[in-house]
Structure 1
Amino acid sequence: MDGTRTIDMVARLRSLAAGGSPAEKRLAAIVLDSAETASAAPIRALAQWADVSEPTVTRFCRALDCEGLRDFKLRLAQIVAIGGFSMFPGPIHRSPYDESIITSVRDGAIGAIQRTAATLDMTLIAKAAEAIAGARQVVAFGSGGVSSMGAVELENRLFRFAIPVTAHTDGQMQRMVAAVAGPGTVAVSLSSSGSAPSVVEATQIARDYGATTIAITEPGSALAGRAEIVLGFKVPGDGVVIKPSASRYALLTVVDVLATSVAEAVGPSALEGLRRIRKSLAALGMSNSDRPIGD
């Protein structure tokens, strides 16, 4: 078997649990119910738990496209190690009308914002804001769901102050844009994990060519090690995999604090851009003094 082949063992296990032979159904149910235990169990134990013979366990492993028990246990252990709770989720018991859903999302968002606000270093925020306010151009790099959204949101915040800014979420574009950066360019890289390869590499490329590099990321991460100014945040998961990650709120907190600090650094001229935007939208009937400008 090709050792580089990617096997979705979870999907295959569920398929056997639903439509395999009686022995396969019992073995698959055992593994899905207790994946960590099964990954360490000897063949004799697996056979006894499922009331099957040891050769049947071996055939079961091969039905999962594994070479044998050892390969099966290795692959299963790897799945468990990268997040067994999400690979083998428990049943959802709550009603979609349950108000505890609101509470869960609300508390996660509030907790993420409070944790992030309490740990932000305003000295570093001010340093980053001054660099952005004086930049010839700003580029924002983000890859993945939360971080790409954050890069686009940073662009959405900064253009209002007449700062030339573009967001890039494509890895190849990030590298190309970084390669033509230089003194006068500020590269702001966003990654909740700090390990997105394209963002880490683009940050280093931009820095090599003289750009000022700012990272909004997890402290101590690979991305943090490549940037000159690190605006760190970290929000641990709560294990509720069906709920969107609260790290979105943490990242947007940093973006909003940074954007507000940039406006302060730009000074009164920042208001002129906002005035023009409101005037432009008024012609479309979309501007109202009680509403945010352009939101």
Structure 2
Amino acid sequence: MSKNSKFPLDGLDINLLRLFCIIVECNGFSAAQARTNISAASISSKMSTLESRLGLKLCRRGRAGFKLTAEGQNVYEAAAVIFQSHNSFVRDVGELRKNLTGRLSIGVVDTTVSNPQMPLSSAIARFHDKYSDVYLTMQIMEPAQLERGLLEGSLHLAVAPFYHRVPGLHYQPFVDEVHLLHCARGHPLFEQAPDNVDIEAIARSKYVIRGHVPANIELASERIVDSASVIDMEAMMHLILSGRFVGFLPMHFARFWTASDQIRPLLPSRIRHVSHFEVAVKRDRMNERLTKAFLGELLRNAPAAEPR
């Protein structure tokens, strides 16, 4: 490709750059296709157009997977600055008009929608009724990804059980979530569950651990050794339902399967842990009107949580 020292940047390029950023954030064309509802062929064509317009090779894609070039990484970082500045401009103009506009990006971990103690949906309803011109985006991520999104500016706030303290972020206690150890029908301990289970038999069971949760959170008390790992709760449930593994599940998420007696908790009065959910915000964004307005709605009727 020829590299021009100058090129005209127009509306088409801005839209292509936005698509490119989505591809990078999704780590590939396939996930970006689902997020944008644009066909793979169209995404590929648009990226070829952008590369031609910029005179740069932005990424490599094929059987080996998606990978940014060094130039692509630089373009992504520069484009992220453009879109953050655009969002700041829209927000600032909205504040001058005494009206909230712009884009609010929220991040949350998986499997919160079934938690009756989680006031996220009601907060969204109240916020939208007051500020219907604000464009909302929501993403499901692991806690570390949420923290990275906050630091990089792609998220305004995030809701999760955070296991570390990242400099530059503020953490507000939010809600608590009780997890119990479960096994499924077909597991050797199922017929003895919930209360007539030998603790040594549990210790010998094959245990599923969530990759982003520190081992001492779930394993310390009962000397259980992990035999499989997952990222999200649906994957955890698949392994537990196989009847070959035990694992911790939030009580609200497990309720459907416990009600139909497909899974049972193991010594629930003894083996449990609590996930302390928090709302995380980047410190230098805490006073932005958009962030403050949503945070106020989110914390308005939240049940009391234990401070960490």
More helix by share: 1
| TM-score, normalised via structure 1 length | 0.29
Structure having the higher Rg: 1
More strand by share: 2
Q: Which structure ranks higher in relative contact order (CA pairs < 8 Å, sequence separation ≥ 6)? A: 2
| TM-score, normalised via structure 2 length | 0.28
